[in-house]
Amino acid sequence: MSNSFASGLIVLGEVALWIALLMAAWSATVSFAGAAQRRGDLVLSGERGVYATFGFVLLASVGLWTALFAHDFSIKFVASYTSANLPKVYTFTAFWAGQAGSLLFWCLILALYGALAVWFGRGEKTRAFLPYVAGTMSVVTLFFLLTLCFGANPFERLDWTPVDGRGMNPQLQNPGMAIHPPMLYLGYVATTVPFAYAVAALATRKLNAEWLAPVRRWSLLSWFFLTVGITLGMWWAYVELGWGGYWAWDPVENASLLPWLTGTAFLHSIMIQEKRGMLRKWNVTLVVSTFLLAILGTFITRSGIIQSVHSFAQSPVGTWFAAFLGVSLLATGYLVSTRLKDLASQAELESMVSREAAFLYNNLLLVGISFSVLWGTLFPILSEWVRGEKITVGPPFFNSVNIPLGLLLLALTGVGPLIAWRRASVANIRRQFVFPGVAGVATGVALFALGMRDFYALVCYTLAGFVFGTIGQEFWKGTGARMRMYQENVAVALGRLVARNRRRYGGYVVHFGMVTMFAAFAGLAFKKEADVTLRTGQTHRARDPWGHDWTFTSQGVSQYKALNRYVTAVALDVTRDGQRVGILSSEKRQHVDSQDQPTFEPSTEVGIMEGAKQDVYVVLAGVTGTDQAELRITFNPLVVWVWFGGIIMAVGGLIVMWPQAERRRVQGGYAATLSPVAVAAPAERELAGAAS
Amino acid sequence: MKPRTKFLAGGLLILGSAGVLMASSIKDTGQYFLTPSELSAKVADDPSFRDNGVKIGAKAVPGTIRRDPSGRSLSFVMVDMHDSTKTYPVVYRGIAPDTFTDGVEVVVEGRLGADGTFRATTLLAKCASRYENAPDRYKNDPAYRQRYGQPGGAPAAPAARTT
């Protein structure tokens, strides 16, 4: 790329950012004005404005990427996060490695979603909402563009041009870190579309089922990306940071969990509104809260208001987000409070022993968990306001509150699918619960007999057995019904069962992944670690939680230079029960820039030997003299199942999201448009529906 | 009792016990979050305050970090972020995070010993440059500019300009 062409693109990008700002402002104004005055021409112009905004934000992003690849170090952002010797892939991902760029990235996704929401919202059913959706999306985009143009401009120039940039933090030079932020952003930002639809539904007072169809699709999309993003974040923390865990209840981690929790609650409660016309206020509240929590998360991350290891530099951008949060809260509060009558429920809870009740408790628990996480995260601020003293709470707080709540939730995961809508009969309960109940109790008893004594772990595995039983039974019954009715073989029956009831069986797949994760979390109760010092040839012996005997023999310390770093590495020869299993090595890296000057502090490369039973996790803490390695060796039981569970959940999410052909929409569709009586299907019809 | 009432009763029970759990665990595990000078004021008021485990948010004074070669312990001096009047020596046993460096913002958890040394059991380092590796810090440093800056340097203009 020629230099002048590159600098042309950069300037074009910068200008495009300002045009996008004007476009978003135009689009927001005419969309709302057109809706209020019922003027089709204004509405149409607003929609086109949304597309144009996306175009210009895209142009601005191309400009920043060009600057990164052209190594234009006169731009502060480029000089701050990259160096000339940074690998290409990380030059690309540097886009979201810093404050200003990540805001632009956020804005790019938002503008893209805005355009997609308008494009897919043109249909007959959602037409009425469109002006408000376009308007709301534009307002949010406008906010981000204002922040970008006046608060943190990625095109800001330095008054001098360094020969080389400061380079990228080595901890961010990891494939997990390259895709974790985009996934999380795709999830965070996708909460905006349901929010826009909620605003539109409230504004137009069309609060029946019509607005729920697109909201559900977008919420699922958001849920999917958040799930993938959070799991990747855990994986990155585990393999890169070297403290031996994947979740520390850090405020920024909590910030990503909060919208996930309320989003999950919504995806369950929406079914009750579809089937029974209940929970209308609640659903609007969940949609709005999910969006506000996503913004709050951004605020926490960007403002530095709460002590977190993750924080971006403290910057005035935090204040912008606080103001935006306040305005959104007031606006939606006003909309909801003036529409309470339109949100009245169309049905009552008929029995405590019903699927509705199970779903309601599921929602209560998910929201309870989010509240406790929010409370614990904000507690330093709250206590400072109330008592004038900053008091912090750490993992013990989150664990003691959330483990019991989480286990209750796990139990409901097993109950919900088994119990009938409206009112379960004794026969229904007996028929459905025997097998899963036996599976759960058997699991618990077996583990107790094998010597497991940790209370929470035992409860968790008993419940996990119960939920696996539930899921297994659902698949078994559905497949069996198909095999009898259509004479299909097992594979065909199973495949069609899932393909024709994607929401239901995809949901079970998600549950399966979730339970796998819970089972893996409980494994942490049996973690073992040791700090050891090994000279070349010396051996450390240890017994893992499963009773295997291990030896770790130092093969010596080596030092060498790689592409952009100096490396000190130790290699351990590992045996299990006398059998050699391989070499495990851990490194300390000192990154350098193209002038061979050290950048950043030394970073650690963890050595991990993964297995189904446990990970063996080795961290090189330091080297004394030339060959004495100081190591921490940890047995982390079942960790690999956390990643596996995450993948399964994502796959389940994909199954649920996969577009269904038109034919099935008639069968499975949005029943809330019918009267509650017509929909009141007994459990039998549910089962038949599964087999049809 | 109507199902709705029953449900609400059950819900209150769950949320109530969650609330009690939250309150009790905040009481048991909540820690003061102080700056070094706030800590010194608290201890001056009430010497028994030393016995509390506390979290201190501070800055590692540049040049005071002494690392044990084993990588398992280190000591440094901490000071308020924006006020250099009160300092405490800190001894930390454990593996320091990669982000721990001169001048970094730290959060240490532990107890103040009778000898005035803070014994930390955990050490978190929040590098302002963790993501934000801004050249601002360096560009006013003549040695850095000599090494990286263009010959002749740049005029002493405002920090940055937007074109």
pLDDT in tens, A241-282: 777 889 989 888 899 999 999 999 999 999 888 888 888 888
Residue B87 resides in a domain:
yes
Chain A nearest C-alpha distance from B26 (Å): 6
For residue A239, how many other CB atoms are within 10 A of its CB? 18
Range with lowest mean pLDDT among A544-558, A647-661, B135-149? B135-149
**CB distance A518 to A406 below 8 Å:** yes
Check if A380 contacts B (Cβ < 8 Å).
yes
Check if B143 contacts A (Cβ < 8 Å).
no
Residue B8 resides in a domain:
no
**CB distance A49 to A24 below 8 Å:** yes
The reported pLDDT for the residue numbered A13 is 95
Instruction: Report B:17-36 residues touching A (Cβ under 8 A).
Output: 17-18, 21-22, 25-26, 28-34
Check if A360 contacts B (Cβ < 8 Å).
yes
| A369-373, A528-532, A685-689, B118-122, range with greatest mean pLDDT | A369-373
Q: Which of A443, A256, A290 is nearest to A363 (CA)?
A: A290
Residue A670 resides in a domain:
no
Check if A598 contacts B (Cβ < 8 Å).
no
Residues of A in contact with B34 (CB under 8 A): 390
C-alpha to C-alpha distance for A301 and A233, rounded to whole angstroms: 15
Mean local confidence (pLDDT), A280-290: 91
Q: Both tokens of residue B20?
A: 């009690």
Query: In percent, how much of chain A has pLDDT > 90?
Result: 58
Does residue A310 register a pLDDT over 60? no
Length of chain B in terms of residues written: 163
Q: Which of A365, A603, A624 sits opposite B69 (nearest CB)?
A: A624
Range of B72's domain? 30-129
CA A408, distance to chain mean position in Å, is 22
Chain B nearest C-alpha distance from A127 (Å): 36
- Using pLDDT thresholds of 50, 70 and 90, give the confidence band for residue A387: confident
Q: Both tokens of residue A478?
A: 């559905």
- Using pLDDT thresholds of 50, 70 and 90, give the confidence band for residue A290: very high
The reported pLDDT for the residue numbered B127 is 55
Interchain pair B95, A396: CB under 8 A: no
Encode pLDDT of B53-106 as tens digits: 888 888 888 888 888 877 788 899 999 887 778 889 999 988 777 778 787 788
- Using pLDDT thresholds of 50, 70 and 90, give the confidence band for residue A639: very high
C-alpha to C-alpha distance for B120 and B142, rounded to whole angstroms: 36
Amino acid at A558: S
Q: Tell me the CA distances in angstroms from A627 to A95, A158, A175, A571, A583, one per residue in order.
A: 40, 45, 31, 11, 17
Range of A570's domain? 526-640
- Using pLDDT thresholds of 50, 70 and 90, give the confidence band for residue A687: very low
Residue of A393, A421, A588 for testing the chain B interface, max B β-carbons within 10 Å? A393
Does residue A223 register a pLDDT over 90? yes
Encode pLDDT of A111-124 as tens digits: 999 999 999 998 88
Last residue of a domain, one of A595, A623, A640: A640
Q: Which residues does residue B66 pair with via DSSP β-bridges, in sequence order?
A: B75
Last residue of a domain, one of A125, A153, A168: A168
C-alpha to C-alpha distance for B123 and B108, rounded to whole angstroms: 5
Instruction: Report A:166-205 residues touching B (Cβ under 8 A).
Output: 166-169, 171-172
Does residue A591 register a pLDDT over 70? yes
Residues of B in contact with A169 (CB under 8 A): 129-131, 133
C-alpha to C-alpha distance for A224 and A183, rounded to whole angstroms: 9
CATH code: domain of residue A615: 2.60.98
Residue B13 resides in a domain:
no
- Using pLDDT thresholds of 50, 70 and 90, give the confidence band for residue A681: very low
Three-class SS state of A171: helix
Encode pLDDT of A392-416 as tens digits: 888 889 999 999 999 999 999 999 8
Nearest CA in chain A to B94: A621
Residue A595 resides in a domain:
yes
Three-class SS state of A210: helix
The reported pLDDT for the residue numbered B103 is 78
Q: How many domains does chain B have?
A: 1
The reported pLDDT for the residue numbered B145 is 45
Q: Which of A438, A440, A439, A458 is nearest to A450 (CA)?
A: A458
Does residue A642 register a pLDDT over 90? yes
Query: In percent, how much of chain B has pLDDT > 90?
Result: 8
CATH code: domain of residue B44: 2.40.50.140
Check if A485 contacts B (Cβ < 8 Å).
no
Amino acid at A133: V
Q: Which residues does residue A567 pair with via DSSP β-bridges, in sequence order?
A: A560, A589
Residues of A in contact with B135 (CB under 8 A): 76, 79-80, 158, 162, 165-166
C-alpha to C-alpha distance for A216 and A7, rounded to whole angstroms: 43
Encode pLDDT of A643-673 as tens digits: 999 999 999 999 999 887 544 444 444 443 4
- Using pLDDT thresholds of 50, 70 and 90, give the confidence band for residue A315: low
| A10-19, A280-289, B2-11, range with greatest mean pLDDT | A10-19
| A165-179, A568-582, A587-601, range with greatest mean pLDDT | A568-582
Check if B98 contacts A (Cβ < 8 Å).
yes
Instruction: Report A:213-252 residues touching B (Cβ under 8 A).
Output: 241-243
Q: Both tokens of residue A54?
A: 């996306």
Instruction: Report A:512-551 residues touching B (Cβ under 8 A).
Output: 531, 533
Q: How many domains does chain A have?
A: 2
Residue B161 resides in a domain:
no
Residue A472 resides in a domain:
no
Q: Both tokens of residue A217?
A: 């699709």
Encode pLDDT of A520-543 as tens digits: 999 999 999 898 999 999 999 999
Encode pLDDT of A89-110 as tens digits: 999 999 988 888 989 999 999 9
The reported pLDDT for the residue numbered B14 is 87
Q: Both tokens of residue A3?
A: 């230099």
Q: Which of B7, B32, B162 sits opposite A357 (nearest CB)?
A: B7
Q: Which of A348, A391, A624 sits opposite B33 (nearest CB)?
A: A391
The reported pLDDT for the residue numbered A160 is 83
Instruction: Report A:297-326 residues touching B (Cβ under 8 A).
Output: 307-314
Residue of A253, A352, A415 for testing the chain B interface, max B β-carbons within 10 Å? A352
| A5 contacts: CB under 8 Å, gap ≥ 6 | none
Q: Which segments within A487-606 are labelled E, that is strand?
A: 528-534, 539-543, 549-562, 565-576, 579-591, 603-605
The reported pLDDT for the residue numbered A534 is 92
- Using pLDDT thresholds of 50, 70 and 90, give the confidence band for residue B134: very low
Q: Which of B107, B126, B148 sits opposite A162 (nearest CB)?
A: B148
Residues of B in contact with A632 (CB under 8 A): 95
Q: How large is the angle between the packed helices A395-415 and A355-387, nearest 10 degrees? A: 170
**CB distance A479 to A490 below 8 Å:** yes
Interchain pair A624, B70: CB under 8 A: yes
What is the side-by-side strand order in the sheet with A539-543?
A539-543, A549-562, A565-576, A579-591, A603-605
Percent composition of chain B: helix, strand, coil (DSSP 3-state, to 5): 35, 30, 40
Encode pLDDT of A592-629 as tens digits: 777 777 776 677 889 999 999 999 999 998 887 788 88
Last residue of a domain, one of A598, A618, A640: A640
Residue A33 resides in a domain:
yes
Residue that wins the pLDDT comparison between B150 and A593: A593
Residue of B148, B161, B162, B163 for testing the chain A interface, max A β-carbons within 10 Å? B148
Residues of B in contact with A159 (CB under 8 A): 154-155, 157-161
Nearest CA in chain A to B162: A156
ipTM metric: 0.74
Query: Mean pLDDT of all residues in chain A?
Result: 87
C-alpha to C-alpha distance for B50 and B65, rounded to whole angstroms: 24
Q: Classify A94 in phi/psi space as left (phi over 0), alpha (psi -120 to 50) or beta.
A: alpha
Check if A163 contacts B (Cβ < 8 Å).
yes
**CB distance A353 to B4 below 8 Å:** no
Q: Match 């399964």 to its residue by tokens.
A: A648
Nearest CA in chain B to A149: B162
| A205 contacts: CB under 8 Å, gap ≥ 6 | A339, A342
pTM of the model: 0.88
Mean local confidence (pLDDT), A449-460: 92
Mean local confidence (pLDDT), A197-214: 89
Residue A533 resides in a domain:
yes
Q: Which of A153, A400, A601 sits opposite B98 (nearest CB)?
A: A601
Does residue B138 register a pLDDT over 90? no
Residue A117 resides in a domain:
yes
Residues of B in contact with A96 (CB under 8 A): none
C-alpha to C-alpha distance for A207 and A280, rounded to whole angstroms: 8
